[in-house]
């Protein structure tokens, strides 16, 4: 549905043994999560460059009527020459699709779930942008913006608290802070 250089190509969706399978492009790059874990946090300039490419992918997905719903460092692949690919559209929903999640079920990565989703509200394009902010925070700080002990504590912090104070974000902090605003509007 969406073709953009920063989005993994999905070739087919099949069902086998009553389970859906997604056939997608092989992207042999390392994830942002792995790069930060192995080499340490990125500089604000590096994170900003990656963030702009993620934003382009999210914008293209939204223009095509697709919400990603799981933007996080593990789903951002970093290739040579600054190539960035947003992958894992397994939780994505498209305009006009029916909701496939069960009420009360946490779908996605709690540390990167927007406040409105943490409160059980529907995902909107703003939720993907909030997750971009959390991803950028993790890229420059080397940890999640609401790093707490346990899923419930993380979701509560996301819904009710301000993000942890950054140490390394520098000039990128105003952008990250605005993306992590609790109000999706």
User: Which are the catalytic amino acids?
Assistant: 70
Q: How far from 24 is each of 1, 4, 10, 57, 126, CA to CA, in Å? A: 13, 14, 4, 16, 26
Helices 32-39 + 125-141 axis angle, to 10? 20
List, in order, residues 6 or more apart from 76 with CB less than 8 Å away: 31, 32, 33, 50, 54, 84, 85, 86, 87, 135
């Amino acid at each position: 549905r969406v073709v953009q250089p920063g989005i993994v190509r999905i070739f087919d969706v099949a069902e086998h043994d009553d389970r859906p399978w997604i056939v997608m492009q092989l992207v042999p790059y390392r994830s942002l999560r792995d790069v930060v874990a192995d080499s340490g946090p990125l500089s604000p300039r590096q994170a900003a460059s990656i963030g702009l490419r993620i934003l382009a992918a999210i914008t293209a997905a939204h223009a095509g009527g697709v919400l990603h719903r799981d933007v996080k460092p593990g789903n951002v692949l970093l290739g040579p020459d600054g190539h960035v690919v947003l992958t894992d559209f397994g939780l994505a929903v498209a305009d006009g699709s029916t909701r496939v999640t069960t009420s009360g079920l946490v779908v996605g990565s709690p540390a990167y779930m927007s406040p409105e989703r943490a409160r059980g509200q529907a995902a909107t394009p703003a939720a993907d942008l909030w997750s971009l902010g959390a991803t950028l925070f993790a890229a420059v700080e080397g940890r999640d913006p609401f790093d707490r002990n346990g899923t419930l504590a993380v979701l509560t912090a996301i819904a009710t608290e301000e993000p942890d104070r950054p140490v390394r974000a520098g000039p990128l902090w105003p952008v990250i802070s605005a993306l992590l605003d609790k109000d999706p509007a």
